[in-house]
Amino acid sequence: MTYCQNVPHSLISFESRSAPLGIEYFENIHPVIDGTFMVALHGSFEPSTMHGYEVVRATKEGEKQTFMDGFQDNSGVRYGRPVDFLQFDENSFFMTDDFSGRVYYLYIE
């Protein structure tokens, strides 16, 4: 029998059907996101749940905040579904979106 008492607790959690698909730990990058995880919340296949459809910034201490949203409006219309990230340089990264079939270039001033 396997016991889970020694398994560490999760760092952060998300609402059901948020679909956290992509995660990237950023280091040696702009101070706004240096030493943090970026999590792409793809969102539910059912847009009426209104969960996900955003990018969340999370720290190693378990704090999280919305970094980027606007991929779904208040009526449930979707404009994008974040998928994953790739750090480009110390001030920028790429983010993929499989709803609109785009790759976004994000630059932090």
Q: What is the pLDDT of residue 11?
A: 86
Residue 36, CA distances (Å) to 3, 6, 22, 46 in order: 31, 25, 14, 29
Q: What is the pLDDT of residue 15?
A: 92
Residue 74, CA distances (Å) to 16, 69, 79, 82 in order: 18, 12, 12, 17
Residue 86: pLDDT over 90: yes
With bands split at pLDDT 50, 70 and 90, how would you rate the model's confidence at 3? Answer: confident
pLDDT in tens, 24-41: 999 989 999 999 999 999
- Please state the rounded mean pLDDT for residues 70-99: 95
**What percent of the chain clears pLDDT 70, i.e. is strictly above it?**
98
Q: Is the pTM value of this prediction over 0.75?
A: yes
With bands split at pLDDT 50, 70 and 90, how would you rate the model's confidence at 59? Answer: very high
Tell me which residue has tokens 């993929």: 96
Q: What is the pLDDT of residue 1?
A: 63
The domain spans of the chain are 20-107
